[in-house]
Amino acid sequence: MYGYMGKVLRVNLTDGSIKAEDLDFELAKKFVGGRGLATKMLYDEIDPKVDPLSPDNKIIFMNGPMSGTPTPTGGRYMVITKSPLSGTIASSNSGGTWGARLKYAGYDGIIVEGKSEKPVYLEINEDQVELKDASHIWGKLVGDTTDALQKDKNTNVLTIGPGGEKLNRMAAVMNERDRAAGRSGVGAVMGSKMLKAIVVTGKKKVDLFNEKQARDNNKEATNKLKDNPVTGQGLPTYGTAVLVNIINANGVFPTHNFQKGVFEAAEAISGETLAEKYLVRKEACHRCPIACGRYTKTKNVEGGGPEYETVWAFGADCGVDDFEAIIEANHWCNQYGIDTISVGATLAAAMELKQEGLLDDVDFEGHDLDFGNAEAMVYWTKKIGAREGFGDKMAEGSLRLCKEYGREDLSMSVKGLELPAYDPRGVQGHGLTYATSNRGGCHVRGYMISPEILGLPEKLERLDLKNKPLWVKIFQDLTAFIDSAGVCLFTSFALGADDYAKIYNSIVGTDWTGEDALKAGERIYNIERQFNLKAGITPDQDTLPDRLLNVEMPDGPSKGHVHKLDKLLPEYYSLRGWDEKGIPTKERLSELGLA
C-alpha cells in the first residue's frame, strides 16, 4: 500500500477502547484521503441529523496520501465532524507538522466516538496508544497545554483551549500552538467529548510507489512555486496579509460589518506594515517552500500570525487600525482556541447591533463595543474565549447573536458560518462560492479571488458573470482533491490538476489524469452535499446576506454593485448535474459512484 500507512485508529471514549483498523484501500482511492475519505466515513457512520455536541456525533482526523511525503506543503490534515456552529458538514484544515507526524506514527487517521466521563488526552507513540487523564491540563490555555505535553522533536501536540472545553461554537482545534483547524466549531466537538489533546510521536517512513519520480515531481513543483509571483514572492515576503492593499484597492475589503468595501486605514494594517514593524521571522509548515507564516511580537505578546483573514476580521471589519491590538486579539484566539474569522465577524456584528441601539441593556463592563474601539475588541475577544459576561452570548456565533436581538440580517454569514474577507458585491464568482460552499461562508472551498483579483491562472473580469459558474465548479472540485490529498491550497496558485495527478500517481501507483482528479473532487463535493441535505440543510440556504444581494456598494471601485446570485445559481446547478432546486440527480450520483 503506497502513500497510505494502511491503519486508522478508532477510539471510543465511552468505554475507553482503542482499535487499529485496516484502511479500506479501494475506498481511500475513490475518496483520495483527508477531506474526502473522512467525509465518506462520517456519512456512513452517523445520522446527519445528530446533535453535534452529543456523544453520538463523531470527529475524524484524517491525512491525505501526500501528507508526510516529499510533496511541497505535504503536512496538511483535515478535521471532519458535524458542525455545532452551522449544522453542516464541518471540514476544517490545518498545517504545521502534526498531520505528517500522525503518518510517521503509522496511521492515516483517527476516528473518535462517544464521550469520556472525565477529561482525557490520547497519546500515540507508534504502536503504543493509550488514553490518559487530562485533569491537570483541563482549563489550560493552548500554549500551556502544549508545554505540558511536548516531549521531544519527534512529538507534536494537537489540543483545544478553554474555548473548546466551554463548547464555544467557534472553537478551533490547535496544533503546534498557533496552527488552527479553525472554522466550523470543530474544537467544541472535541470539548463535548472531554478530549483535551492528541499527542503523537513517530519516525516511520511513508512508502512511495516510485520514490525517484516522486522526488523529481517534488523538485518540479517546488520550482513552479518559486517562479510564481504569489507563492515565490508575495507570500514569502509579506505573508497572506499582502492581500490587504490589493483587496482594498478593488473595493471589496469589507468594512464595518460589510457596510462598505473600502477601509481608509488599510495601509496601517497591511502586510507591508506588518513586515516593517512587527515581524520577528517567517515560519513554514512541514515541507513548505512558501513560508507564508509570520511570527510577530508587540510590547505585550508574541507568537504566530496574524493571517490576512485575521487582520481583516479584527481590523477593517471592526473598524480598527491599531495593528498591535489586532496581533493581540489573534494571540488570544490562539490561546483560547477559537476561530479568528468568526470571532472578529461576531464582534463586528455586535458593534453594528450597538450602532443600531439594540444593545442598550448590555453591560459592557466599561469596554463599549463600538467600531474602532481597539481596546474593547481585545477585551471582548478574551471574554468570548472564556465565555464570560456578554462574551457568553457572542460565543454562540453571529447568527444566533443577531437572531436574539431580532436582526438576523446583520449576521454576515452563509448557512451559519461567518463570511471572510472579500465582499461578493465586487467579486461575482467568489460570491457564488460563498453561497454554494458545503460548510457555509467560506473562501477556501473555491478561491475565485485567484482569477478575479490576482489573475491566476488567467484574469477574469471580477464584475462579469460570463462562465463564472463553470469556473466556480472547477475550483471547488480541484480544492476538494487538494484538501483530500494532504497539501496546501496555496499550491494551486502555481499548480494545476495535471500537476497534482502526476504527483499522486508517483505516490500511490495510479495512472490518473487531471480530469480524474477533478472527478474525484466532484465526488467529494457531492457526498458533502448529500450529508447536508440529510442533515436538513436545504438548498434555499444557498444564498447570501440580504445586504449583499440588495444594497448597492456605497463607495469605492465596486460602488453601485450588488451580487447577482439569482443569475448565477441556475447555471451552477445545471453544471453540477443537480435539479433546478439544487438537489443532485440520481443520474449524476450514479455517474460519480454515489447512487
Residue 88 inside a domain? The answer is yes
Residues 50 and 124 in one domain: yes
Residues 71 and 104 in one domain: yes
Spell out the residues 6+ positions from residue 220 whose beta carbon is closer than 8 angstroms to its own.
none
Residues 402 and 431 in one domain: no
Q: Is the pLDDT of residue 235 over 90?
A: yes
Domain extent for 22 = 7-201
How many whole angstroms separate alpha carbon 494 and alpha carbon 228? 6
Residue 233 inside a domain? The answer is no
Over residues 340-371, the pLDDT tens digits come to: 999 999 999 999 999 999 999 999 999 999 99
Over residues 26-69, the pLDDT tens digits come to: 999 999 999 999 999 999 999 999 999 999 999 999 999 999 99
Number of domains in the chain: 3
Using pLDDT thresholds of 50, 70 and 90, give the confidence band for residue 182.
very high
Q: Residue 137 in contact with residue 214, Cβ under 8 Å?
A: no
Mean of the per-residue pLDDT values of the chain: 97
Residue 227 inside a domain? The answer is no
How many whole angstroms separate alpha carbon 427 and alpha carbon 58? 36
Per-residue pLDDT, 1: 83
DSSP conformation class of 159: E
Q: What angle do CA 478, 533, 566 make, to 5 degrees?
A: 70
Spell out the residues 6+ positions from residue 153 whose beta carbon is closer than 8 angstroms to its own.
none
Residues 36 and 124 in one domain: yes
Q: Please choose, from the candidates 329, 327, 317, the residue with its C-alpha nearest in 3D space to the C-alpha of residue 372.
A: 317
Over residues 193-214, the pLDDT tens digits come to: 999 999 999 999 999 999 999 9
Q: Is the pLDDT of residue 151 over 90?
A: no
Residues 313 and 383 in one domain: yes
Over residues 526-574, the pLDDT tens digits come to: 999 999 999 999 999 999 999 999 999 999 999 999 999 999 999 999 9
Domain boundary among 411, 445, 469: 411
Sequence-separated contacts (24+) of 133-136 with Cβ below 8 Å: 134/194, 134/196, 134/197
Residue type, 173: V
How many whole angstroms separate alpha carbon 563 and alpha carbon 426? 7
Terminal alpha carbon distance of the chain:
27
Q: What percent of the chain has pLDDT over 70?
A: 100
Q: If you average pLDDT over residues 433-437, what whole number do you get?
A: 98
What CATH number is associated with residue 400?
A: 1.10.569.10
Over residues 519-531, the pLDDT tens digits come to: 999 999 999 999 9
Q: If you average pLDDT over residues 236-259, what whole number do you get?
A: 97
How many whole angstroms separate alpha carbon 258 and alpha carbon 99? 35
Residues 188 and 270 in one domain: no
Using pLDDT thresholds of 50, 70 and 90, give the confidence band for residue 153.
confident
What CATH number is associated with residue 584?
A: 1.10.599.10
Q: Is the pLDDT of residue 595 over 90?
A: no
Residues 142 and 277 in one domain: no
Burial class (CB in 10 A: 0-12, 13-18, 19+), 399: buried
Residue 568 inside a domain? The answer is yes
Residues 254 and 106 in one domain: no
User: Within its chain, how far is the Cα of 364 from the centroid?
Assistant: 31
Residue 223 inside a domain? The answer is no
Buried b (16+ CB within 10 A) or exposed e, 87-100: bbbbbbbbbbbbbb
Residues 396 and 427 in one domain: no
Residue 399 inside a domain? The answer is yes
Q: At how many degrees (to 10) do helices 468-485 and 565-576 cross?
A: 60
Over residues 288-325, the pLDDT tens digits come to: 999 999 999 999 999 999 999 999 999 999 999 999 99
Residue with cell 460563498: 434
Q: Is the pLDDT of residue 382 over 90?
A: yes
Residues 334 and 482 in one domain: no
Sequence length of the chain is 595
Residue 382 inside a domain? The answer is yes
What CATH number is associated with residue 52?
A: 3.60.9.10
Residues 476 and 396 in one domain: no
Domain boundary among 373, 389, 411: 411
Helices vs strands, H then E, count in the chain: 25, 17
Per-residue pLDDT, 223: 97
Residues 60 and 189 in one domain: yes
Element (H, E) at 397: none
Domain boundary among 378, 411, 444: 411
Residue 418 inside a domain? The answer is no
Sign of CA dihedral 374, 380, 384, 386: positive
Using pLDDT thresholds of 50, 70 and 90, give the confidence band for residue 237.
very high
Per-residue pLDDT, 152: 85
Over residues 58-92, the pLDDT tens digits come to: 999 999 999 999 999 999 999 999 999 999 999 99
Q: Distances in Å between the alpha carbon of 171 and those of 415, 419, 478? A: 17, 16, 27
